[in-house]
């Protein structure tokens, strides 16, 4: 599904990713953990295609296709989705109209007809129920006046609507209370299937009580320094990142 090969990336001339490789297959959930400043969000942004991030070396493949040169919207059309760490607010644009536009622009790019209004409404209803989102939120300006938890739930609602092949959840769990965390995790689990893949970027292992990853990777100083299974996350939680730093030195 996603294959990242020896990627180097910088922002404003500063190198953040220093030869990162990652291989995510369809049907898998990968968790990426790491201390602040290790490059987690940069990884999310270069996969989604943010232009401020310059890839200086290496390549990114989605289903075997090099997507490194593609614009953010083209990557979305091919099935890449990023759940933002800090979702933006757009006053004057309702959640419903935003999603309608996103879905129909994507369908247009894929050579499909616009989704009939009836189907759109049905889908919106189903997915908002899945995320336990009150319908009145959907007629409000996107993220405007939403709490942190509501914004994150809205991100996963959008993921449910877009049905991406590859979803990257950038610290979707931070700022969530336990109920919201449960709802978000439940949503993610329901959306997961054998044909898609999810990369979860997180600080904490508490999300892993709800979402069971196939692999856990530790990102440190722009590289993946350790990979393992779920147990690695618990080990990290217990020993902290200093343990990794020590480990690398050895």
Partner 1 sequence: MELKDKLVSSFLAFENTVDVDAPVHDIRSQAIKTFEEKGFPSKKEEAWKYTSLKTVLKHDYSVFPKEENALEFRDVKKYFLHDLDTYKIVFIDGKYSSHLSETTHDKIDVCLMSAALTRDKYRVVIDNYFNKIAPKDGLSSLNTAFSKEGAYIYIPKNKLADKPIQIIHLSTGKESAQLLQPRNLIVVEENSHVQIIERHQSLTDNAVLTNSVTEIFADKRAVVDYYKIQNDNQEASLIDNTYIEQQTQSLVSVHTFAFGGNITRNNLNFYQKGEGINSVLNGITIIEGKQHVDHNTLVHHTEPNCESHQDYKGIFDERATGVFNGKIIVNKEAQKTNAFQSNNNILLSDKATINSKPQLEIFADDVKCSHGCTIGQLDDNVLFYMRSRGIGEKEARALLMYAFANNVLESVKIPQLKSRINKLIANKLNVNIGFDL
Q: Does 75 bind partner 1 (CB under 8 A)?
A: yes
Q: Does 6 bind partner 1 (CB under 8 A)?
A: no
Q: Which region, judged by CB under 8 A, interacts with partner 1, from 5-13, 71-79, 180-188, 220-228? A: 71-79
Burial class (CB within 10 angstroms; exposed 0-12, middle 13-18, buried 19+) of 224:
buried
Q: Which region, judged by CB under 8 A, interacts with partner 1, from 104-112, 128-136, 178-186, 202-210? A: 104-112
Complete DSSP assignment for 66-112? E-TTS-HHHHHHTTEEEE-SSPPPEEEEEHHHHHHHHHHHHHHHTTP
Scanning residues 158 to 187, which ones bind partner 1 (CB under 8 A)?
A: 158, 162
Q: Does 116 bind partner 1 (CB under 8 A)?
A: no
Q: Does 92 bind partner 1 (CB under 8 A)?
A: yes
* Chosen residue from 34, 39, 49, 222 binding partner 1 by CB under 8 A: 49
Beta strand residue intervals within 120-235, DSSP E: 141-142, 166-170, 197-202, 215-220, 223-228
| Chain-centroid distance, C-alpha 107 | 21
Are 57 and 37 within 8 A, CB to CB?
no
Q: Does 81 bind partner 1 (CB under 8 A)?
A: yes
- How far is the C-alpha of 43 from the C-alpha of 196, rounded, in Å? 19
Number of Cβ within a 10 Å radius of residue 155: 24
Q: Does 62 bind partner 1 (CB under 8 A)?
A: no
Q: Does 222 bind partner 1 (CB under 8 A)?
A: no
Can you give the binding site for partner 1, defined by CB under 8 A? 48-52, 71-73, 75-77, 80-82, 84, 87-88, 90-93, 97-98, 100-106, 109, 114, 141, 158, 162
């Amino acid at each position: 599904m996603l294959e990242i090969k020896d990627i180097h990336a910088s922002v404003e001339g500063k190198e953040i990713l220093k030869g990162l490789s990652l291989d995510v297959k369809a049907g898998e959930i990968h968790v990426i953990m790491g201390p602040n400043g290790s490059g987690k969000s940069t990884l999310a942004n270069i996969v989604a295609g943010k232009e401020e991030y310059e890839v200086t070396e290496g390549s990114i493949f989605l289903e075997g296709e090099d997507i490194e040169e593609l614009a953010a919207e083209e990557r979305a059309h091919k099935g890449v989705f990023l759940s933002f760490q800090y979702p933006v607010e757009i006053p004057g644009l309702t959640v419903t109209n935003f999603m309608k536009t996103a879905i129909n622009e994507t369908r247009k790019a894929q050579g499909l007809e616009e989704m009939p209004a009836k189907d759109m409404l049905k889908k919106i209803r189903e997915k908002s129920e899945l995320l336990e989102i009150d319908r009145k939120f959907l007629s409000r300006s996107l993220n405007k006046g939403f709490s942190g938890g509501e914004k994150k739930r809205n991100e996963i609602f959008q993921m449910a609507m877009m049905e991406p092949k590859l979803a990257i959840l950038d610290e979707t769990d931070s700022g969530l209370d336990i109920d919201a965390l449960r709802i978000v995790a439940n949503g993610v689990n329901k959306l997961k299937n054998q044909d898609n893949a999810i990369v979860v970027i997180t600080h904490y292992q508490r999300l892993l009580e709800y979402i069971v990853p196939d692999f856990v990777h530790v990102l440190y100083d722009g590289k993946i320094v350790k990979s393992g299974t779920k147990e690695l996350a618990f080990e990290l939680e217990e020993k902290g990142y200093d343990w990794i730093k020590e480990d690398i030195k050895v």
